[in-house]
Structure 1
Amino acid sequence: MRTSTAPRPARRRARALLAAAAIVAALGAGTGVAPVAQAAISPVMSYDGASVNNARIPAEAIGIETATAVEFDRGTYWIGSAQVGTIDSVTGDGTVFRGTGTVDLAGRSGSVTLVAKLYKGKYMVQKVYKVLRLVPPVPLGIPAGWPNADTTGVPAGKVLQPVGDLEVTTPGTVLDGLDIGCLTVRATGVVVRNSRVTCADGRMLAVSLQGAKGFVMEDSEIDGGNGAAEVAIGWGGYTLRRVEVRGTQDGPRLGYDVTIVDSWVHGLVRDPDVHTDAMQSTTGARITVRHNTLDPRTPGVGDFLNAAVQLGTETGNHELRSVLFENNYFNGGTYSVNVSCTARLTGSVVFRGNRFGHGGKYGPVIAPAGVTFTGNTWIDTGAVVPVESAC
């Protein structure tokens, strides 16, 4: 039963006036009264192509983009009463308007609320609030004691003999001091020492192991030719010692019976169709990864890439058992260690005594409950790294 005596058109006009007044009040005073803004969508602040909201952001000067449906032509960034940046470049297509600028977060820590104040002409037309989780900026440099350019790869002064692409079919072959193109091994017990593989012809595997159980590579390098090769080496039955891997889209793939020690995987190349990881296993068992430096990023390139270690993806039968990552240095990636909920943990999967840098975009670790984590700490503070639930 209606209790109002006002005609319905009059009530609608009254509601419209109240709504308009509320919008004007919400926009803020600025230096005058702003006109009514366009229909709102949820505004977004982005860093490196992803939302900053509750993301781990380095406490340094970084570029942030603000996107909204409200038309604006300039803006400023604030934390509390301190201005920390200016939006100088604004573009728009009539539907979404985007502004970019540098925000100085140096010297801050913990959770902070970043406010973008957006203006059109002399009027403030919108405020955008986002919570950032600030972490110490950590360079891509490798801490002392971990594998690096001095301790992996071809020894200094070693002269290599160019031989081009090789296919090895004789069991027990030893390759020493060679500059190889792409390498295919179809025999057991093959050893590669003091050599470099540079595979740049678009193959999936720079080092392709086919029926090649017992393969060993040591004091050597695998170069993917600036992303020409998708995977450094795969899929199983091999050992790497003091090997440097760079320039592939993915580092070593971990299948069955794999051991990797004292090696360095870095400087990988993103492909839009590949989750770029320093190491990845879709299915595997009897895997040992000990005392390696694993960081897929490239210095000077603002791309976190996917992970230092990715276990379990959408391919394979997803089984993982008897897997040990011990005493490694992990950095980079959206999460440095990412164990997918798709992984079938039919045996032990253990991360023990590893050290982490702060270069993971959203955190150090995300994993399901069945994975064991013990003694894994931040490299700078020694505090135990948190493990976020993946499922």
Structure 2
Amino acid sequence: MTPYDGPCEITQPNTIIDAKTVSCPLVIRTTGVVISRSKTSRIDVDGRGVSLTIEDSEVDGGKWQGPAIGFSNVTVRRSEVRGGQTSIQCTPECLVEDSWLHGQYMQPGKPQHLGGFLSNGGHDVTLRHNTIVCDVPDNDVGGGCSGSAQIYADFSALTRFRFERNFFRATPGGFCTSFGLNPGKSFGDNPTYVVVADNVWERGPNGNCAVYGPTTSFHTGGEGNTWRGNVWDDGTPLEAR
């Protein structure tokens, strides 16, 4: 890899960054950007008509108080994502596959909530064949991991989310995974077309994946919602909760 000497704010459509070391945070302001075989700082993708594909790369959000990769129209393949408050925060139109999300950063003395993958509402998100964990210990002021993968309907309804063949590693957080049914939230009473299939949960040190359990908030009665083939790492079937 060679040092990247292009702009940190990318506005040229179909820009390609290949085999580069990028030391500055990247802000994507256009469509069709591709990053491959590279090492980068955090990446911000947000707004109408913008998109990013990142493949075979390493993304390090460092001490950023936000996601290492966010927030919409992102494809991540075969990449390692670490640092930041959350590894990937994304919706809508996001695909994450064959990747490793881990190693978040908590500001000292701050009551931050961290995560491996997070969505706060939206649609058309797929996580396929990843290893995902929030692995930061709690601090003494209420900061720590919410869990390894969480979707919450804070800002809009949740629909068309797919979680397939992922490995959810044990976390010091409350639940390893949360799948959107939170009636106390503004849009959380009816997540639809949430598919959770053929995933594996690590039991971890307490045998329960997280403090309270492996998973929560899956709406079994929601339209199009599917739970099938999910197991513990010892092969024991895991039922929806």
TM-score, length basis structure 2: 0.82
Q: For residues 73-112 of structure 1, what are the structure 2 equivalents within 5 Å?
A: none
Residues of 1 paired with 2:115 and 2:165: CA distance? Answer: 18
Unaligned runs of 5+ in 1: 1-158, 200-205
Unaligned runs of 5+ in 2: 205-209
What is the CA deviation profile of residues 211-252 of structure 1, one whole-angstrom value per residue up to 9, with x for unaligned ones? 353421101121111x22411222211110011111111121
Q: Is 1:166 matched up with 2:23?
A: no
- Paired position in structure 2 for 1:352: 197
Q: Is 1:256 matched up with 2:92?
A: yes
- Paired position in structure 2 for 1:289: 127
* Aligned match for 2:155, one of 304, 309, 316: 316
Q: Work out which of the two has the higher radius of gyration on C-alpha atoms and give 1 or 2.
A: 1
- CA 215–228 in structure 1, closer or farther in 2 if over 3 Å, else same: closer
Contact 1:169 1:187 in 2 (8 A): yes
Q: Structure 1 vs Structure 2: percent identity of aligned residues?
A: 29
Amino acid at match of 2:199: N
Q: Which has the higher contact order (CA 8 A, sep 6+)?
A: 2
Larger helix proportion, structure 1 or 2?
1
* Aligned match for 1:365, one of 215, 223, 241: 215
Secondary structure of the structure 2 residue equivalent to 1:192 = strand
Q: Is 1:209 matched up with 2:63?
A: no
* Aligned match for 2:25, one of 175, 182, 198: 182
Contact 1:321 1:346 in 2 (8 A): yes
What is the CA deviation profile of residues 23-66 of structure 1, one whole-angstrom value per residue up to 9, with x for unaligned ones? xxxxxxxxxxxxxxxxxxxxxxxxxxxxxxxxxxxxxxxxxxxx
Q: Is 1:337 matched up with 2:181?
A: no
Q: Is 1:276 matched up with 2:129?
A: no
Residues of 2 paired with 1:212 and 1:234: CA distance? Answer: 15
- Paired position in structure 1 for 2:235: 382
Residues of 1 paired with 2:52 and 2:82: CA distance? Answer: 20
Contact 1:240 1:260 in 2 (8 A): yes
Residues of 2 paired with 1:229 and 1:164: CA distance? Answer: 25
Residues of 2 paired with 1:219 and 1:160: CA distance? Answer: 16
TM-score, length basis structure 1: 0.52
Residues of 2 paired with 1:243 and 1:210: CA distance? Answer: 23
- CA 346–367 in structure 1, closer or farther in 2 if over 3 Å, else same: closer
Structure 1 residue ranges, 4+ long, deviating more than 3 angstroms after superposition: 162-165, 208-214, 271-274, 301-304
- CA 258–176 in structure 1, closer or farther in 2 if over 3 Å, else same: same
Alignment RMSD: 2.2
Deviation at residue 368 of structure 1 after TM alignment: 4.0
Number of corresponding residues: 218
What is the CA deviation profile of residues 51-88 of structure 1, one whole-angstrom value per residue up to 9, with x for unaligned ones? xxxxxxxxxxxxxxxxxxxxxxxxxxxxxxxxxxxxxx
Amino acid at match of 1:194: R
Contact 1:365 1:386 in 2 (8 A): no
